[in-house]
């Protein structure tokens, strides 16, 4: 009695394995997953800011920073993931700021003799922010889809951590502009947090890819010192590269 060849069975098994591998690859890439709808938050003419908190998550195979999203009207969303372009840059920038804070906070500013304060980095988006929701390990997150944002509309900044909400509000205040501090500016000698942060932002520039000594000037003449990382540095955000010099009579 002839014995059936096992080859057709092996061929079927092989085909099934190939299909499983293809389906697994498509699922891992997200092509077979239900696609969350993207919403656009904030104002088309406003500035929104992502503020990393030092945590990261694995999202679609990428390590992404987690933090808060401050909208132009002051609303703050927590548990926000930055996914896409500049994700690794944001992680690296934040880690450098944390390291510099560990090194200098507690020491004294040699110019105004006041203690250094913790600085915080933030990443400003000009216009609305594309966001979707995702659940990871039972936790619901807002996910910023950064690849849908024009790179010219993304820029990084750092300032005193307690000033971050005011910093975003100032950017969204009509009439606010940016200016650089000259090396002999009397602001560095002010014996308050403004003077300290002005000098400290420049100090951090000696130890990382940062540049400090810049101030936001509000219409009421209040100033907020800050610095900028080398990247991201969106050309559409004028606060990233001021063309004016600040003086006490500005």
- 221: buried, middle or exposed (CB in 10 Å: 19+, 13-18, 0-12)? exposed
pLDDT tens by residue, 201-215 = 999 999 989 999 999
Three-state DSSP class for residue 216: strand
Question: What Rg value do the Cα atoms of the chain yield, rounded?
Answer: 24
Three-state DSSP class for residue 90: helix
Share of the chain above pLDDT 70, in %: 85
pLDDT tens by residue, 91-141 = 999 999 999 999 999 999 999 999 999 999 999 999 999 999 999 999 999
- pTM, entire model: 0.85
State both tokens at 2: 């002839």
pLDDT band at 248 (very low <50, low <70, confident <90, very high): confident
pLDDT tens by residue, 37-82 = 999 999 999 999 999 999 999 999 999 999 999 999 999 999 999 9
State both tokens at 70: 């401050």
CA-closest candidate to residue 118, choices 137, 101, 95: 101
Q: Give the single-character DSSP code of 221.
A: S
């Amino acid at each position: 009695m002839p014995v059936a060849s096992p080859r057709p069975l092996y061929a079927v098994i092989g085909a099934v394995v190939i299909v499983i591998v293809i389906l697994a690859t498509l699922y891992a890439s997200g092509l077979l997953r239900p696609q969350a709808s993207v919403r656009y938050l904030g104002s088309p003419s406003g500035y929104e800011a992502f503020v990393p908190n030092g945590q990261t998550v694995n999202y679609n195979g990428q390590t992404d920073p987690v933090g808060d999203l401050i909208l132009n009207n002051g609303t703050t969303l927590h548990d926000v993931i930055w996914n896409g372009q500049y994700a690794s840059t944001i992680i690296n920038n934040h880690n450098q700021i944390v390291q510099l804070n560990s090194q200098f906070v507690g020491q004294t500013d040699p110019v105004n003799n006041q203690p250094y304060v913790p600085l915080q980095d933030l990443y400003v988006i000009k216009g609305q922010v594309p966001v979707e929701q995702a659940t990871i390990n039972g936790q619901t997150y807002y996910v910023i889809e950064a690849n849908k944002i024009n790179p010219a509309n993304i820029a990084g900044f750092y300032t005193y951590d307690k000033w971050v909400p005011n910093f975003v509000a100032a950017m969204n205040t009509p009439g606010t502009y940016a200016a650089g501090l000259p090396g002999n500016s009397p602001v560095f000698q002010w014996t308050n947090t403004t003077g300290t942060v002005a000098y400290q932002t420049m100090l951090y520039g000696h130890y990382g890819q940062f540049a400090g000594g810049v101030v936001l000037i509000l219409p009421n003449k209040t100033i907020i010192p800050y610095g900028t990382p080398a990247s991201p540095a969106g050309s559409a955000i004028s606060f990233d590269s001021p063309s004016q010099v600040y003086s006490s009579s500005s």
